[in-house]
Amino acid sequence: MIKINENYLKLPGSYLFSEIAGRIRKYNENNPELDLIRLGIGDVTRPLAPSVVEALHRAVDDEAAAESFHGYGPEAGYEFLRSKISEEHYGRLGVKIAVDEIFVGDGAKSDTGNIGDIFAADSTVAVCDPVYPVYVDTNAMAGRAGNYRQADGRWSRLTYLPCTAENNFVPELPSTDEAAPELIYLCFPNNPTGSVITREQLGLWVDYARKNGSIILYDAAYEAYITEDLPHSIFEIEGARECAIEFCSFSKLAGFTGIRLGYTVIPRELKVDGTSLNSLWSRRQSTKFNGASYLTQRAGEAVFSVQGQKEVRETIAYYQANARTIYSGLSKLGWQVYGAVNAPYIWLKTPDNMGSWEFFDYLLEHAGIAGTPGSGFGPCGEGYFRLTAFGTAEKTEEAVARITTLVR
Amino acid sequence: MIKINENYLKLPGSYLFSEIAGRIRKYNENNPELDLIRLGIGDVTRPLAPSVVEALHRAVDDEAAAESFHGYGPEAGYEFLRSKISEEHYGRLGVKIAVDEIFVGDGAKSDTGNIGDIFAADSTVAVCDPVYPVYVDTNAMAGRAGNYRQADGRWSRLTYLPCTAENNFVPELPSTDEAAPELIYLCFPNNPTGSVITREQLGLWVDYARKNGSIILYDAAYEAYITEDLPHSIFEIEGARECAIEFCSFSKLAGFTGIRLGYTVIPRELKVDGTSLNSLWSRRQSTKFNGASYLTQRAGEAVFSVQGQKEVRETIAYYQANARTIYSGLSKLGWQVYGAVNAPYIWLKTPDNMGSWEFFDYLLEHAGIAGTPGSGFGPCGEGYFRLTAFGTAEKTEEAVARITTLVR
């Protein structure tokens, strides 16, 4: 008699964004006439850049003729895209990443979710709190998280790194009294808090990981939103090639949320007990994945053209302006507001000490605005709320106006 | 100190098709002037159908304007595609499959590779021998396969179902003396042998699975190549909804190998100890996957239009003619040839009792033809060889001519 993976049964409720989508669906059904403003799920609203659209049309035409048809591609991605990532993205940062250290995939969610496959099932894991739920849930599914405790909303085997207003939402190193966590998930600019990490702070983590034989899983999905002098890649930090894997995405860089493209960087010198993690991931991907769509990879290539860069930077600037609109609008109400400056997320302390889901329902019911409850990202997120900068400028301004009216 | 997933270290050599690609690359480097004919990796060569190309251009234009832009889609796929699969594919077979039983993904390789996530790590597994390597390797990675024995090329914890000329390459039920395997991978029309299963034979497997509480993982990626009265879906068999998961692909149906689209069907009544596998897979996909590309899903929708169907059927007929060309050409040489009638694969006994890899090198060196060594699919494939019908008609005829010249 077949048995299921029992770890799945330990997962509490459904995936955060599915839960939010469900509540919004219900709200819409009950209020069909109302104009809902969605600043919840971190989805973009601007169309693809013209250069990307052109590249996609060309790629479709490639697939329309036998001479230029592309079937199965290399599982790790086409050279034309990987070399652009190496030269344009990393080259510009002054970071040397070889083409064969880059694995193109269908998005950072898949890659951050699947990377656990190559590590031992009993590896110990540290996550920030609050945190992007995928890191936690995928480790829970793999059995690494232990058991979920309803009482404090934490998993028994995870190490939580509290990110609070006190530490500016940048976690401190774990106490040296405890065994170091073997896998450490970091994400900067941070989802959900919009906080950033300095080179010095990130250097402390790299040193810690090297000293303790830990691996940092670094999610850089939001690096394009950095406006200040901060690291865009963990590989800007000395020693990171010996202890870090980096995940990047075209979703927020170029609006590819519906197109699907991301990549993962595993340096060749990153080894565990002599085994190359680059080789293990290569084996994982070539066995369980058949490469990202040719069309999408051509689209990704176009993002790195001169014109493509100009266009995607304009769109990013558009979202950055939204972030400032929300940040300054809510600050004016006397609310405590974080993030926004180097990130597309605005993280706010809920007013009147409302609970996160209470504030979610309150904002949905009274202002027709959907955000994301901070507690959905972990216990330390309770009493906080996330808004995204990915709406239209009009809706974003309207949202701030509605909240201002509601509060005053 | 972090540890890796040690199961990866048990995997012998690299993934079959990567190995073949490597040998071909080397051959090409040494023989740049020669015209290699690739009948190895099961990749298509015909361009996308005009209806699909049109749909892709339209979808790209959707993404080019804010009003029609699609960002994150439902993780399980858009209703517009899932309803077509339900109505057009399954409806035509007289099989009732609800929209929420269909999970759209980026290809059958990913889904057959990832499905193991929802089952217990110690589940027992049966595979055909020879077999599509992904089923074996992904279970080995999950630790279900035990240890690889160099001596007989088998994994200690897998049950092998021999598929030989004697049983027409359709496996017999396991002996009732042994505990029934909990997961049973079946693929018909079969990769690599091109063999088919009758309704009666498949009924025996469904009865066996129901009686023993096993789950059949049914790979129907090649159903579009069936020309005789045979089941296209395991759900044509009574009782299959209680014991089977089915995987389908647009790769061979519509040439989407580079575009990436497939789907997995998990009936609602498929439960293990009261837990719905449909819910578990939904949780897996919504946590670790962000949906197939919007573009690709629109392309998939177009496959089911009247004109789309006409076009893809023409291309399938083109490949089917290739299959007949190879089948009859090699039969004329007195070779034992199998498959081809209901499948895009031709499975042949190597002449002069050559080993599979020996014949691979022989054909590559002397005829400039790349096929796939049968032994790469399992020990029972030793002494066999796979050719695919996915080349161009000209190259396929040329290949048969070259082999005929070589042999005579």
For chain A, give the mean pLDDT.
96
The percentage of residues in chain B with a pLDDT greater than 70, rounded to a whole number, is 100
Q: Which of B41, B288, B315 to mutate to test the interface with A (most CBs of A within 10 A)?
A: B288
Chain B residues touching residue A50 (CB < 8 angstroms):
64
Enumerate helices (H) and strands (E) in chain B, giving the number of each.
13, 17
Of residues B375, B387, B337, the one with CA closest to residue B129: B375
Residue A7, CA distances (Å) to A2, A148, B120, B284 in order = 15, 10, 9, 11
> How many other CB atoms are found less than 10 A from the CB of residue B332?
11
Higher confidence at residue B32 or residue B363? Answer: B363
Q: What is the pLDDT of residue A15?
A: 66
Residue B238 clears pLDDT 80, i.e. is over it: yes
| Residue range B42-72, pLDDT digits in tens | 789 999 999 999 999 999 999 999 999 999 9
pTM, two decimals, is 0.96
Of B25-34, B133-142, B326-335, the range with the lowest mean pLDDT is B25-34
Which residue is listed with tokens 């990567």? Answer: B18
**Nearest CA distance, B352 vs chain A (angstrom):** 33
Chain B residues touching residue A65 (CB < 8 angstroms):
47
| Residue range A225-246, pLDDT digits in tens | 999 999 999 999 999 999 999 9
What are the DSSP calls for A307-327, one per residue?
HHHHHHHHHHHHHHHHHHHHH
Identify the closest residue of chain A to B260 by CA–CA distance. Answer: A293
Tell me which residue in B69, B215, B280 faces A45 most closely, judged by beta carbons.
Answer: B69
**Residues belonging to chain B:** 408
| Residue range A76-124, pLDDT digits in tens | 999 999 999 999 999 999 999 999 999 999 999 999 999 999 999 999 9
Q: Is the dihedral of CA A57, A60, A64, A65 positive or negative?
A: positive
The percentage of residues in chain B with a pLDDT greater than 90, rounded to a whole number, is 91
Tell me which residue in A47, A61, A138 faces B63 most closely, judged by beta carbons.
Answer: A47
Tell me which residue in A4, A121, A286 faces B275 most closely, judged by beta carbons.
Answer: A4
- Classify the phi-psi angles of B168: left when phi > 0, otherwise alpha if psi is within -120 to 50, otherwise beta: left
Q: Which pLDDT band, with edges at 50, 70 and 90, does B239 fall under?
A: very high
HSE, CB side, 13 Å, CA atoms: give it for residue A124: 14
The reply to whether A80 touches chain B by the CB within 8 Å rule is no
Contact B294 A259 (CB under 8 A): yes
Residue B333 clears pLDDT 80, i.e. is over it: yes
Chain A residues touching residue B290 (CB < 8 angstroms):
106-107, 109-110, 257, 260
Residue A13 clears pLDDT 80, i.e. is over it: no
| Residue range A354-382, pLDDT digits in tens | 999 999 999 999 999 999 999 999 999 99
CB A235 within 8 A of CB A265: yes
Q: What is the pLDDT of residue B17?
A: 75
**pLDDT, average across residues B11-26:** 82
Of residues B253, B130, B107, the one with CA closest to residue B190: B130
CB A332 within 8 A of CB A351: no
CB A2 within 8 A of CB B215: yes
**pLDDT, average across residues A280-287:** 95
Q: Decide if the complex's ipTM is over 0.90.
A: yes
Q: Specify the pairing of strand A271-272 against strand A275-276.
A: antiparallel
The CATH classification of domain B54-306, taken from the options 3.40.50.620, 3.30.365.10, 3.40.640.10, 3.30.565.10: 3.40.640.10
CB A209 within 8 A of CB A243: yes
The reply to whether A121 touches chain B by the CB within 8 Å rule is yes
| Residue range B62-114, pLDDT digits in tens | 999 999 999 999 999 999 999 999 999 999 999 999 999 999 999 999 999 99
What's the token pair of residue A50?
A: 């013209």
Residue B292 clears pLDDT 80, i.e. is over it: yes
The reply to whether B53 touches chain A by the CB within 8 Å rule is yes
> How many other CB atoms are found less than 10 A from the CB of residue A314?
11
The percentage of residues in chain A with a pLDDT greater than 70, rounded to a whole number, is 100
Residue B197 clears pLDDT 80, i.e. is over it: yes
Chain B residues touching residue A77 (CB < 8 angstroms):
none
Residue A68 clears pLDDT 70, i.e. is over it: yes
CB B242 within 8 A of CB B277: no
Residue A137 clears pLDDT 70, i.e. is over it: yes
**Nearest CA distance, A400 vs chain B (angstrom):** 21
Q: Which pLDDT band, with edges at 50, 70 and 90, does A34 fall under?
A: confident
Which residue is listed with tokens 């647009």? Answer: B250
Q: What is the pLDDT of residue B18?
A: 77
Q: What angle do CA B258, B372, B134 make, to 5 degrees?
A: 60
**pLDDT, average across residues B354-370:** 95
What's the token pair of residue B193?
A: 């042998």
Q: What is the pLDDT of residue B40?
A: 87
Residue B387, CA distances (Å) to A150, B350, B365, B400 in order = 56, 12, 16, 11
| In chain B, where the domains are located | 6-47+309-407, 54-306
d(CA B25, CA B156): 33
DSSP A389: S
Identify the closest residue of chain B to A13 by CA–CA distance. Answer: B283
Q: Considering just the CA atoms, what is the radius of gyration of chain B in Å?
A: 21
Question: B6-47+309-407 belongs to which homologous superfamily?
Answer: Aspartate Aminotransferase, domain 1 (3.90.1150.10)
Q: What is the pLDDT of residue B15?
A: 66
| Residue range A308-327, pLDDT digits in tens | 999 999 999 999 999 999 99
d(CA A374, CA A126): 19
**pLDDT, average across residues A286-308:** 97
Residue A14 clears pLDDT 80, i.e. is over it: no
Contacts of A394 (CB under 8 A, 6+ apart): none
The reply to whether B275 touches chain A by the CB within 8 Å rule is yes
Q: What is the pLDDT of residue A41?
A: 78
The reply to whether B291 touches chain A by the CB within 8 Å rule is yes
Contact A259 B50 (CB under 8 A): no
Of A19-23, B75-79, B101-105, B335-339, the range with the lowest mean pLDDT is A19-23
Contacts of A65 (CB under 8 A, 6+ apart): B47
What's the token pair of residue B168?
A: 């027409």
Q: What is the pLDDT of residue B14?
A: 64
CB A369 within 8 A of CB A37: yes
CATH architecture of A8-48+307-407: Alpha-Beta Complex (3.90)
Contact A3 B123 (CB under 8 A): yes
DSSP A218: E
Residue B326 clears pLDDT 90, i.e. is over it: yes
Report how far Cα B245 is from the mean position of its chain's Cα atoms. 14
CB B156 within 8 A of CB B26: no
Of residues B315, B298, B210, the one with CA closest to residue B255: B315
Which residue is listed with tokens 């065994």? Answer: A179
CATH architecture of A53-305: 3-Layer(aba) Sandwich (3.40)
